[in-house]
Structure 1
């Protein structure tokens, strides 16, 4: 029985998507819920899975094609696992097959493109895929060994390729190699929003510094008990999130946003936590943080980090947010000016903890210090509110008992 494979229903904030990868090719058998394809939107990567045990019979939308919500992208034949049927070739595959000899190895579309980019002769590559199919990984592994025969005009001498452990293509001595790849939709959307933030907001940044010794001492004293009780490590981010919640309550305009000519004040604190992933910067949102404990914050951030690395974050998990925290300190940043996440009015930047000599009661003391940066929209916030917010953050973090006592 044939079944249509359609793109999922995109939310209103997502106009379209792109076929990123087909994990199965026509004629390959699949088990129920096995991954068929990835669809990349400007926010998340959506997975298309097999509706039942059967065979992928046809690919209608190829990798790189733009698709709309619920658009037909392929067809699936429900049947026994391992059963194969005649694959319906795509136009590109039909042209390739007509011009190929019967003895030519079977290549997936991704493997064929990789062979062309790396100038690898497909006939020299041993396939490890189903029925001897040459996969993209086979081509990359063959090229990586440095033994790939290069396809080139006879009149052009080709030097022997030099093996490069991490290179995607052979690099020749004396060559100045360049590689052009398209932006992912997520990267392009992030770029668009960052430029939009700088062009539409009157962005200003104020700085302060915080002594991290009290929090570090508290962690050292209770980290083992905390992890044993809650099953998650005690990090710094939970303290910053809880301090931000209290500071936002005291300065509600920092938690507001601009909508046209209106100021929207939010009676809740949904804090976005910027997370770096291979596909780009994503900002999953902690909902109702005023009701979360330190353990809840740490556990949720850990889960978001895992999902971001695996590309499993949902659109709902990255929608909304009234305030954002970005931790560049994990990469070694000592000081930076974070860019607003529209339509939010402010974003807090955390940085590297570094020991510095500080004057305390007339004496020089070495303390672990962190610079804090608050970028804000000057159309909505005056310097008084922004500086007061950051000073409140500093006071709460340097005396973390105040976070728990609400004083």
Structure 2
């Protein structure tokens, strides 16, 4: 029975999309939830996966054509339809291979060919060359930067395996392999800029394992290890083999590569291994470093050596976008900041009392941010002007509360959004924030995670900030700044007591919000946090 392959349900603000890449062709076999096609909108790239296992029998919307929300893009038949699993190699070369096999069968050679293939020899593909292209960027994205090559020339890859990451000013895009094979040439190196659909590399079907073809007698593992040790762009430092992305991070953080434990094949040091070493500080160099070779191999921007060293590196696209938006906010908004302080005793006592029970009940820790999100949600309902946004000469009042939470990542500050916080429980808030932090560090946050938002909370206190002036996130009209909790002597009922106090700051757009409303909004948050018993803990 045929199954429809449909486009996803687009968000309200997205009218249509463009078919960017069909990862499967007619006759290709697919597993359930396997990626079939990518659709690009003006905001994000959407993935369409197989609704069931089977074979692609028809493609209704070709690459480059536009499609509407939930439009039928193609048809998926049973596994036996469209030629079974053989065509999964997916190209005209596969047809040629089938015909060749037929001829070999007639002359009694097919069995030998099959045996050679099962022994790990180079696949009997035609060696068809593909251009590996950058994705078609959304309209608002002019160009991108090749951030990381995950595969090197000659390294065997499977179809749809990630070859490279391209960093734009909004999101990181992945470039995947068009078929089983290997890269034969990399045309754009890490750090170089590319335009939409630019050719990044050349890809040969059926290649891999041994860059020059040669005898296929050695096993694929041995060939791959040999490649890691002496070929491509991997670099051996001491007894460690560093992947290119790992080398780059080692150089940036000036680490001792010999102290990093590699988890890749043959002990190869991967990007993730270096990130872990950076986080736990286990690979810092001694006074006398042997990491000069790593620096040279990574080839960072030219450095000025001597007693007063300098190094010039290009600003990342995300950092450029952050800078542009912050300057824009200060230039376009009539920004004003008001401050208050909150006694955190009640919240801290509540956390201490229910911390273990809460974690057992909800499998997540009870933090401070959940209390602030719920307090802000309640305050936003009481002061709709603070929850509004400015669109040109119009004011947009939102009948919901979508609160952005600023998250620090290795690439810069991003603001993923918690949707409909009024209906979220405290545990849901805490789980979502933990998830945002993890995906932010891994570079897995999508544009859809960061769009919208009616209000923002930023917490400089986790870095030790005692007081700051946060900058509004346009087109929002206000942002709350949290800070470090510090014990201070306070007058309580005529007596001096030591209390855990936090300064709060709210920056607001005076074009939209009057000072009276901003002050009362902040006082409401203060009162809610100093009496948190009204929040439902669900324990």
1:258 aligns with 2:383: no
CA distance in 2, matches of 1:166, 1:187: 28
Equivalent pair of 1:41/1:185 in contact (CA under 8 Å): yes
1:75 aligns with 2:202: yes
CA distance in 1, matches of 2:210, 2:497: 73
Q: Which moved more, 1:32-41 or 1:207-216?
A: 32-41
Which of 114, 119, 134 is 1:7 aligned to?
Answer: 134
> After superposition, what is the alpha-carbon deviation per residue over 1:83-137, rounded to whole angstroms, capped at 9, x for unaligned?
5468xxxxxxxxxxxxxxxxxx8663x97xxxxxxxxxx9x9899479xx9x947
| Superposition deviation, residue 51 in structure 1 | 4.1
| Superposition deviation, residue 180 in structure 1 | 0.6
Counterpart of 1:283 in structure 2 is 415
| Superposition deviation, residue 176 in structure 1 | 1.5
Secondary structure of 2:446's aligned partner: coil
1:17 aligns with 2:144: yes
Equivalent pair of 2:304/2:310 in contact (CA under 8 Å): no
Counterpart of 1:97 in structure 2 is none
Secondary structure of 1:255's aligned partner: coil
Question: What number of residue pairs does the alignment pair up?
Answer: 356
Equivalent pair of 1:245/1:289 in contact (CA under 8 Å): yes
1:45 aligns with 2:172: yes
Equivalent pair of 1:39/1:48 in contact (CA under 8 Å): yes
CA distance in 1, matches of 2:198, 2:508: 41
CA distance in 2, matches of 1:27, 1:324: 47
CA distance in 2, matches of 1:144, 1:267: 50
Secondary structure of 1:369's aligned partner: strand
1:54 aligns with 2:186: no
Counterpart of 2:368 in structure 1 is 236
CA distance in 2, matches of 1:144, 1:221: 42
CA distance in 2, matches of 1:249, 1:301: 22
CA distance in 1, matches of 2:249, 2:522: 54
**For the structure 1 residues 78 and 267, does the alpha-carbon distance in structure 2 shift closer, same or farther, using more than 3 Å as the test?**
farther
**For the structure 1 residues 319 and 286, does the alpha-carbon distance in structure 2 shift closer, same or farther, using more than 3 Å as the test?**
same
Paired residues for 1:113-124 under 5 Å: none
Counterpart of 1:186 in structure 2 is 318
Q: Which moved more, 1:54-63 or 1:33-42?
A: 54-63
Equivalent pair of 2:344/2:530 in contact (CA under 8 Å): yes
Secondary structure of 2:318's aligned partner: helix
Higher RCO, 1 or 2 (CA under 8 Å, sep at least 6)?
1
CA distance in 2, matches of 1:165, 1:215: 50
1:356 aligns with 2:483: no
CA distance in 2, matches of 1:330, 1:400: 21
1:36 aligns with 2:163: yes
Which of 289, 292, 297 is 2:429 aligned to?
Answer: 297
| Superposition deviation, residue 66 in structure 1 | 2.9
**For the structure 1 residues 264 and 15, does the alpha-carbon distance in structure 2 shift closer, same or farther, using more than 3 Å as the test?**
farther
CA distance in 1, matches of 2:533, 2:157: 55
> After superposition, what is the alpha-carbon deviation per residue over 1:152-178, rounded to whole angstroms, capped at 9, x for unaligned?
xxxxxxxxxx83488885999962211
1:306 aligns with 2:438: yes
Equivalent pair of 2:153/2:182 in contact (CA under 8 Å): yes
TM-score scaled by length of structure 2: 0.60
CA distance in 1, matches of 2:502, 2:314: 37
1:372 aligns with 2:504: yes
CA distance in 2, matches of 1:328, 1:285: 18
Over the residues paired in the alignment, what is the CA RMSD in angstroms? Answer: 3.3
TM-score scaled by length of structure 1: 0.78
Which of 279, 283, 288 is 1:163 aligned to?
Answer: 288
Secondary structure of 2:458's aligned partner: strand
| Superposition deviation, residue 39 in structure 1 | 0.6
> After superposition, what is the alpha-carbon deviation per residue over 1:347-405, rounded to whole angstroms, capped at 9, x for unaligned?
10000011111111111111111100000111111101111110110111111123449
Paired residues for 1:332-347 under 5 Å: 332-347=464-479
